A and B are shown apart, each in its own frame.
Chain A
Amino acid sequence: MKWLLVGLCVVSTVVGDVFRSLGMRRHGEISDFRPGAIGRALRAIALNWMIFVSTCAMAVSFFSFMKLVSIAPMSFAVPTSAITFIPETLLARFLLGEEVSRQRWIGIGLILAGVVFISQ
């Protein structure tokens, strides 16, 4: 049960983040922060199917993480949830076409190690 929840949490977080990134990139850069423009942006985002998929996946991620911390200690749940950093960076590189420099990879590696340390 514990590992099933870890898998569900990791997959739903990765799907949620990747689709959110794809959806927002399709929408384009938000640069006008006047109330009317924000309202128009929110309407466009609400009709974006990628954002809809992302929101559903984020809801699954939230509830599976809540369930995970109810049956496993935080020192287990927090570092395992940080596993998402690896598949998300790989997908950012190969699916989203982002340039992931060596500096970014080293930074992500240090953060991952830090999350494991901080959860002990």
Chain B
Amino acid sequence: MADALKRKTQLFAILSVVSNVAGNSALTHGMMHLGRAGDTPIDLFFALFHPWVALGVLLLIVWTLSHMALLSWADLSYVMPVTAIGYVVTAFAGRFVLGEMVSPMRWGGILLITIGVVLVGRTAPASATLDGNSK
């Protein structure tokens, strides 16, 4: 039972991180492509029909739903740090997809975040009950 919960938590954490990073990237790419199109609310509305912006919004809806599902059984103090691995995914995407330089200090940051996520990830995902008492 505990293993099944852990597997479900891992699956939804991965879905949440991937959809968030991909959604933000698609949205940024789309908005940059549109240039100053986000200046007025009407421009913003029409920006939703740009393929990259639409894809970004769709992926951020997936992020919202997977994050909500995750919080229906896992602690906030577990979900919040574990999904911080998104900072690392973004840095790797910057390095290997966009060819950005990653300084030694940034690699140090990536290492610290990874160790932190592994430490939190090894704790039990759920500890609290609805009335606020610990199990």
Contact = CB atoms under 8 A, between A and B. Distances in A.
Interface in B86-135: 87-88, 91, 103, 105-106, 108-120, 122-123, 127-135
B72 A111 contact: no
A30 B73 contact: yes
B80 A117 contact: no
Contacts of B75: 21, 92, 96, 98-99
A29 B131 CA distance: 15
Contact of B68 (A24, A97, A114): A24
B81 A85 contact: yes
A61 B113 CA distance: 23
Given A25-B128, A97-B132, A103-B120, A114 B110 contact: yes
B123 A101 contact: yes
5 contacts: A51-B68, A99-B135, A110-B119, A114-B114, A116-B109
Given A114-B87, A117-B108, A99 B80 contact: no
Chain B contact residues, majority secondary structure: helix
Given A30-B72, A30-B73, A104 B81 contact: yes
Contacts of B114: 114
Interface in B50-89: 64, 67-69, 71-73, 75-81, 84, 87-88
A118 B77 contact: no
Interface in A15-33: 17-18, 20-21, 24-31
Given A108-B81, A114-B110, A118-B113, A20 B129 contact: no
Contact of A92 (B64, B76, B131): B76
A96 B132 contact: yes
Given A92-B80, A115-B84, A115-B113, 13 more contacts: A17-B76, A20-B71, A25-B130, A29-B72, A78-B87, A92-B76, A95-B132, A97-B128, A106-B119, A108-B77, A110-B113, A114-B114, A117-B112
A30 B129 CA distance: 15
A107 B128 contact: no
Nearest to A62: B60
